[in-house]
Chain A
């Protein structure tokens, strides 16, 4: 596609429920990243996929968070048993390859846990 597409744009969920956030990267981009942005804060790295390599999961805050990338394209970030502190904007980005740092970000999914 023309840009990085994320869905849903907004998600309100009850504490304890599981949520799935979707990211559709730019066609041909082999690297995909998930970041989290809390209100008024900078971006916090979560996980990074590059081609068929094992993902870098070093930023995932707990084992309630997981992500997968199917077929080297679409990615899903799953948060199990959501907590109020999970409320944030979850941003996905993609880049052409490992040598390209100028990510293209999606508009994010705003997650609110009530």
Chain B
């Protein structure tokens, strides 16, 4: 079936550098995307979302980019901090799915001091 996937399972980044987490999706009908952050022992936490009528959306230190042509989603974290160490998931939704989200496999981000 159609699914959301991630290119890099683990990303090591130096503290203060920018991080880029990538996600590929295969359902061309998807019209809503979310990035979640999951710290050890906790449930996923909403970071930022974007609708398919947008290419870019910015939050606090985070930016989500959507390229519908190649079905690619990315999360950019500026000035990565130790507290950013976590697993990051992208998720997609399409109208026929109701409120269900399809999650990718996750990327672990390790911030080196």
Contact = CB atoms under 8 A, between A and B. Distances in A.
Interface of A: 4, 31, 33, 35, 40-45, 48, 50, 56, 58-59, 91, 93, 95, 98, 101-108
A106 B43 CA distance: 5
A64 B89 CA distance: 28
A48 B89 contact: no
Given A41-B105, A102-B34, A107-B41, A31 B46 contact: no
Interface residues of B, number: 22
12 contacts: A31-B99, A33-B100, A41-B105, A42-B105, A43-B44, A43-B103, A45-B100, A48-B99, A56-B98, A101-B32, A102-B49, A107-B43
A102 B48 CA distance: 9
A41 B34 CA distance: 17
Nearest to A40: B106
A43 B43 CA distance: 11
- Which residue of A35, A42, A50 has the most chain B CB atoms within 10 A of its CB atom? A42
A101 B34 contact: yes
**Minimum-distance CB pairs A-B, first 9:** A105-B43, A42-B103, A43-B103, A102-B46, A42-B105, A105-B44, A45-B100, A107-B43, A106-B43
Given A102-B49, A107-B41, A107-B42, A56 B103 contact: no
B75 to A, nearest CB: 15
Given A102-B49, A105-B45, A43 B99 contact: no
Nearest to B44: A105
B101 interface: yes
A7 to B, nearest CB: 14
Contacts of B49: 101-102
